[in-house]
Amino acid sequence: MVDASHLGYPIGKRHLTIVATEVLSTTVGTGMSYLLDTTAYEINNGNFRFIPELIHGWEIPFAMDHHIPEGEEWLLFSPHNADTQIFQTGLPGLPDNSFGGAWDGRIYLSSYHAGLWVIDIETLMFEGLQSVNKTDAHASSTVGYHLPHGADGSPLDSSFYDFGWTPFLWAAEYHDGYTYLSCITSGLYIVQLDIDAPYGV
């Protein structure tokens, strides 16, 4: 839970949730992810229910110029699993990439054949209060991406499942300054974002 009052949200802790749709095929786009505010809830007849509010969506920048075909290429650029990390700011020797609050946050999203995408949570929250082009918001909130590849950028061979496309990232997990990428066609990759390096052990 984070206090986003420095971005223009009401004072108090917000409970955030990231959800992404696994997409088999599209005619436009590559599949959306959504940052939700799941702070509010109700209890009705003993049933607990969140009352989610959309903060902002995210899609691979310029996704509207692409699509996910059917057949062998199904799921091609679809998002899959994600991890999040909230970093406390203001600590000695550690960077402060925040918008001025006491925290900085990132989403580490695996997107099958599109690789790892790192998304800034504060930027998405800030853009959620603005009236700007959504594609611009997708680009401005993107911190970086990584597509696993062989030497000199050569395509990877598949040692396991053969979907016709390698890599095929199943999951991205952040831990102690590193991001672990699980590829179901070629194995495990460990990568590090430059601004995450100071948090390594």
Q: Mind giving me the DSSP string for 81-95?
A: -EEEEEEE-S-TTS-
- CA distances for 160 relative to 18, 165, 184, angstroms: 30, 12, 7
**Confidence band of 129 (pLDDT split at 50, 70, 90):** very high
With a cut of 70, say whether residue 164 has pLDDT above it.
Answer: no
Q: Are residues 170 and 183 in contact, defined by beta-carbon separation less than 8 angstroms?
A: yes
The pLDDT, as a whole number, for residue 159 is: 61
Q: Which helix (H) or strand (E) holds 120?
A: strand 116-120
Other C-beta atoms closer than 10 Å to the C-beta of 45 total 4
Question: Which positions ≥6 away from 85 have C-beta within 8 Å?
Answer: 105, 106, 108, 174
The model's pTM is 0.89
The pLDDT, as a whole number, for residue 162 is: 60
With a cut of 90, say whether residue 108 has pLDDT above it.
Answer: yes
Q: pLDDT tens digits, residue range 73-95? A: 667 777 889 999 999 988 888 88
Q: pLDDT tens digits, residue range 57-69? A: 998 887 777 777 7
With a cut of 80, say whether residue 17 has pLDDT above it.
Answer: yes
Other C-beta atoms closer than 10 Å to the C-beta of 119 total 23
The pLDDT, as a whole number, for residue 201 is: 67
| Average pLDDT score over residue span 120-126 | 96
The pLDDT, as a whole number, for residue 183 is: 86
Q: Are residues 149 and 134 in contact, defined by beta-carbon separation less than 8 angstroms?
A: no
The pLDDT, as a whole number, for residue 158 is: 65
**Confidence band of 52 (pLDDT split at 50, 70, 90):** very high
| Among 72, 95, 82, 73, CA closest to 32 | 82
Write out the two tokens for 88: 């406390």
| Average pLDDT score over residue span 36-65 | 91
| Average pLDDT score over residue span 34-53 | 95
| Average pLDDT score over residue span 132-141 | 89
